[in-house]
Amino acid sequence: MLYAIANAAVLIAAGLLWRRLRPFGTDADDMRRALTSLVYGFLLPALVLLVLWQAPLGRESVEVALIAAACVFGGLLSAWVWCGLRDSTDRTMGTVLLAAGWGNFTYLGLPVLEGTLGSWARGVAIQFDLFAATPLLLTLGILLASRFGGRAAPRGLFRELVMVPPLWAAAAGVALNLGGVAMGPWVRQLLEMLAAGVVPLMLFATGLALRWATGLRRRVPVVVPVLAIRLLIVPLLAWGLTALVGVEGSLRTALVLEAAMPSMVLGLVLCDRFGLDTALYAEIVVLTTALAAVTLPLWFLWLGG
């Protein structure tokens, strides 16, 4: 676990340093958009196809999806209750809901799970995200961001959902897997070569996306509860649900660690798009990502790692 966290931290720190120094005059946001487009549209689908084509699919996949969905709803409900008690503004509530409901399940979850538990855990991270979290984000998440940000959601949310390349790759991988289609050596080698670029580029792009805003002190009462929800309450919910449905061993560890991921970086895009508090969201991402370097190893140790 510590090696996996350390490796991820080095790549994220490299992205942060690049953002600050701007070597060769390259703008960090332009580079981040280019890298995330490459990963999201080309390399990540290759990894998803490679993993789901070979992963064992069955009851465990259903359990992963259900627990992932429950974690999203658990984070949303916790944040909704907290903001309701504080009588928060709509912009703050929408920002907090996104930050508490969705974690960095693929961009950080995948390398951490793989580095900690082995290559089999890539399938857990991908199923957790693509079977539940991403579909909920592109439907419920967009509706919430639109409602509280005051800007209309795009027409045809279903069309926006089906235009996500990793979801098409997931559908293809599941179909090929269930159909018993063998993966040829050339196809395997090609997919593995493309997939090898996903983790370092995702982590570097995460560092490029992290930015800080002044005025944290006055936002502490808003930020701290989100840290607790994202890093403590949601993984505790996952731990309880795994016990309830009888998930044990390494799969239980993988699911709790996945639930304990910091807030997703993609939320910055949604905040900009729908008029939410981008500065507040950026601070939450920075702090949850930094604190996850401590809380993730603690969860792993507590689970018997």
Q: Where are the domains of the chain?
A: 2-302
Residue carrying the six token digits 């090898």 = 196
Residue 211 confidence (pLDDT) above 80? no
The per-residue pLDDT for 161 is: 60
Percent of the chain with pLDDT over 90: 52
Element (H, E) at 151: none
Give the whole-angstrom CA distance, residue 91 versus residue 85: 15
Length of the chain, please?
305
Give the separation between CA 261 and CA 234, rounded to whole angstroms: 9
DSSP-based three-state secondary structure for 261: coil
Q: Is domain 2-302 in CATH 1.10.287, yes or no?
A: no
pTM of the entire predicted model: 0.86
Least confident stretch, 45-54, 60-69, 82-91, 192-201? 82-91
d(CA 146, CA 56): 38
Q: Sorting pLDDT into bands at 50, 70 and 90, what band is 109?
A: very high
User: What pLDDT score does 292 carry?
Assistant: 94
Q: How many CB atoms lie within 10 A of CB 42?
A: 13
- The predicted pLDDT at position 4 comes to 81
> Per-residue pLDDT averaged across 263-284, rounded?
86
Tell whether the model's pLDDT for residue 193 goes beyond 90.
yes
Reported as a single tens digit per residue, the pLDDT across 223-233 is 899 999 999 99
